[in-house]
Structure 1
């Protein structure tokens, strides 16, 4: 029997006080948007529903297509589903410097899956490529450079290097895989607002990016040519809130996961890459965003000339989240 529902005959078999308690409990479950209270480490906190999760997405290979999910594990370094971990693979030049869709827009056309211990790559005009998730230990570890910080990655081999180079028609590129024993990048060395415990492998600067559907809808009212959520590559999308409300949430709970909003996401030229064609526009949606989504002048040292769209979150408590779950804002009392 679903929680919160009672058969019509139940009242006759329950004491009045017990029946009243069950009815009240059912009402609380049914009214997910209602405020609730909890005690946490001696503090009283109020939980207020501010939205509902409508999408989850992992991007296993940085700048390649995302993989939509109904359910995902939230780890200290981002989303995970089985062997798929967010931005645990990276395309690099032979000198170790990262390659993203900023330099190679057609990376967004490569689809990625993980099945039976293998990474599966597909791209237009290319034969499907299957390589093991666990890279052989004899493969060399590369010293890589991601947004000015050093990080390691184990080389995934010549076959995938040739596949990427052939598809992109580029100089020689290689694919590397981050392994958990390797030192991650510290987010506070990328942007000052992050905490000492916020860390990532090859992600730009944060474990999670959250964007509301209302924010995208508002942007598209200002655009001649509409854009999609795929232009912005969020980890989590949320509905049932106002446009840009995600910038104000502070601390939130989704399922058993607790997140802390650290800073807004300053957008770059990557947002101008069409995820369907792999063609870079270099103008929109950045030009439209710059007309109304620039930071407070007092924060220009952090965001510089980048317009803001979506918010970065750090992980306070790992766990599991699902599409359809409510998003609660934590309010200290």
Structure 2
């Protein structure tokens, strides 16, 4: 599921910011995260600044089109509005209906079968049994800018053209859709209007609530031990996957350091029905893994009945 800018992360010798907050990346400008980067936890003790190794970055994912297939990358820049690798930025493209409302895999599960990749100055839309469509990286400025709505909040998006609209419409075969692109000069949405825990200055493009989501392999493995049909990391759509930590260890990660990126934890991410969409078939079961998460939430020690120990992050 898935903001930018928050007050500065507490550093050694400085008091922590009051009240609950979402994870924040305390960095000015850009910071990089790469596969193999060690994740450190800042211990809560009198020795402020003491670090304990808690894991290693095993996977990095960018989801260019909201609800569509992710792109695995070896390294990425952490920007105020999400991960970036070259021209690909996380959830900077969005499918909308004729009213301008966002369309996600909650309404169109087969969106998870569509991918957007980039080579040079060319974007490519792909899906099985469908001819690829190539688009220019830079959307022509003559294309119309739509007033879109994401979770009820207005945001702009430049239309990617008739060819992209027809390609997506023909693939989904339900109703007319269009593809729009968020451009850096456009005004992002305000995260505080999505969740009260955000600062009034926190912003996001098309992500649900936050530009970063972290998941541990251990927590997913524990969930799968309770499921008859295993689920994948892709069911939960995290940006950063951590290996080498204990089961549900992320529940105690209040301050993290990964590479040059400092993170601050605030709360777990409640999971929605999108997690029940099979990322390989685009079929929604509407049951698992949510039903198992609800049954075991007390064992998992989470405050949300459908949280799978995924943590939202923010950059500032």
Q: What interval of TM-score do these two structures reach, taking the shorter chain for normalisation?
A: 0.7 to 0.9
The aligned residue for residue 312 of structure 1 is: 312
Q: Is the 8 A contact 2:124 2:133 kept in 1?
A: yes
- Per the alignment, do residues 67 and 35 of structure 1 end up closer, same or farther by CA in structure 2, a change over 3 Å counting? closer
SS at match of 2:296: coil
More helix by share: 1
Separation (CA, whole Å) in 1 of partners of 2:245 and 2:281? 31
The equivalent of 1:116 in structure 2 is 120
Cα deviation for residue 257 of structure 1 reads 1.0
Q: 1:52 matched to which residue of 2?
A: 56
Aligned mates of 2:272, 2:282 — CA distance in 1 = 16
- The answer to whether residue 75 in structure 2 is matched with residue 71 in structure 1 is yes
Q: Deviations over 1:88-109 (max 9, x none)?
A: 0000001110000111111111
User: In the TM superposition, what is the alpha-carbon distance from 1:293 to its structure 2 partner?
Assistant: 2.2
> Larger radius of gyration, structure 1 or 2?
1
Instruction: Pick closer, same or farther for the CA change 1:239–1:209 going to 2, 3 Å.
Output: same
Give the drift of 1:197. 3.8
Determine the structure 2 residue equivalent to 1:8. none
For residues 319-330 of structure 1, the aligned pairs below 5 Å read: none
Matched-pair contact (CA < 8 Å) for 1:58–1:84: yes
Of residues 192, 198, 205 in structure 1, which corresponds to 2:196?
192
Given the alignment, which residue of 242, 253, 256 partners 1:238?
242
Deviation of 1:217 (Å): 0.5
How far apart, CA to CA, are the structure 2 residues paired with 1:33 and 1:60?
Answer: 25
Distance in 1 (alpha carbons) for counterparts of 2:300 and 2:234 = 27
Moved more, 282-291 or 179-188: 179-188
- CA distance 1:44–1:284, shift in 2 (3 Å): closer
TM-score between the two structures when normalised by the length of structure 1:
0.78
Separation in structure 1 between the aligned mates of residue 39 and residue 162 of structure 2, nearest angstrom: 53
* Paired residue secondary structure (2:221): helix
CA RMSD of aligned residues (A): 2.4
Whole-Å Cα distance in 2 between the matches of residues 228 and 308 of structure 1? 12
Secondary structure of the structure 2 residue equivalent to 1:262? coil
Instruction: Give the match for residue 180 of structure 2.
Output: 176
More displaced 10-residue stretch of structure 1: 250-259 or 272-281: 250-259
Say which of 128, 134, 139 aligns to 1:135. Answer: 139
CA deviation map 1:157-199 (0-9, x unaligned): 1110000000000210000000011111121211111233432
Describe the superposition over 1:40-61 as per-residue Cα deviations: whole angstroms up to 9, x where unpaired: xxx9511221111000000000
Shift of 1:309: 3.5
Please list every run of 5 or more consecutive structure 2 residues that lacks an aligned counterpart in the other structure.
Answer: 1-37
8 Å Cα contact 2:39-2:258 kept in structure 1 = no
Residue aligning to 1:103: 107
Which has the bigger relative contact order, CA under 8 A and spacing at least 6?
2
Task: Report how many aligned residue pairs link the two structures.
Answer: 276
Match of 1:217 in 2: 221
Aligned to 1:102, the other structure's residue is in SS state coil
TM-score by length of 2: 0.82
The runs of 5 or more residues in structure 1 that have no matched partner are: 1-31, 38-42, 317-333
Q: Which runs of 4+ in 1 moved over 4 A?
A: 32-37, 294-299
- The change in CA–CA distance for 1:268 and 1:225 in structure 2 (over 3 A counts) is same
Report the alpha carbon displacement of residue 134 of structure 1 after superposing the two structures with TM: 1.2
Distance 1:36 1:126, change over 3 A: closer
| Preserved contact between residue 198 and residue 207 of structure 1 (Cα < 8 Å) | no
* Separation in structure 1 between the aligned mates of residue 179 and residue 41 of structure 2, nearest angstrom: 47
